[in-house]
Amino acid sequence: MGLGARAAEQARVSDPSPVPEAATGTGSDPLTNGEVDRARAVALTPQLAASARDVTGKAGPEYLAAELDADGSRQAELYYYDYQTGKLFKQVVDLKTGKLAKSYSATGMQPPASQQEARTALELLVADPASADLKEAYRKATGKTLTGTEGIEAIAHIYTAKPADRGASQCGKSRCVQLIVKTADGHFINVTDVVVDLSGRTIARLK
């Protein structure tokens, strides 16, 4: 067989297509994307959609996460944060009936941050004078000037005030995050001395 024939044969070989995801899981199977989408449509009630606000100030609560009820009953537990009231909402949706089974709310509870919260925190930090060290570290790492969030990304970790805190004592009651910042070419920049208060849209430096 010539090289041309072998090349043509290799070109026809491809990886098998992935098995399509089931629309609905069973038992203790993780929630499927379809189940999460359907559950979110039920969980976001008209009242919650109208009264709550997300991290950007838009109508509707900040969606945080969805998980399967621990008892394996195919109930989805969806978590939302309302920046208007500082409340965490847990909406339990029965996936078999497609109805909202239970609804809970509480203050002072801070589950992990969403990707939108991480992006918003980074935007707030870059626009604040407290980002001077970040911008200088970025310049040294890349040789470029940081004028916005293009070229960097962040992972946000919830920050709760410690007894000795003097710079972010409101965190815990307010929704606050610390950021891990990485440049597009893989350099990490340490900004752990800065806390972004997403509730108050302010920047605090830990003392």
pLDDT in tens, the chain (207 residues): 443 444 444 444 445 555 455 656 666 788 999 999 999 999 999 999 999 999 999 999 999 999 998 876 889 999 999 999 999 999 999 999 999 999 999 999 999 999 999 999 999 999 999 999 999 999 999 999 999 999 999 999 999 998 887 788 999 999 999 999 999 999 999 999 999 999 999 999 887
- Rounded to the nearest 10°, the torsion over CA 74, 39, 49, 202 is 80
Entry field: residues in the chain: 207
User: Which candidate, 178, 188, 180, places its Cα nearest to that of 140?
Assistant: 188
Amino acid at 125: L
Give the pTM: 0.84
The CATH architecture to which 115-205 belongs is Roll (3.10)
Domain ranges of the chain: 12-107, 115-205
Query: Fold for domain 12-107?
Result: Nuclear Transport Factor 2; Chain: A, (3.10.450)
Answer whether 12-107 and 115-205 agree in fold: yes
Bridge partners (DSSP) of residue 191 are none
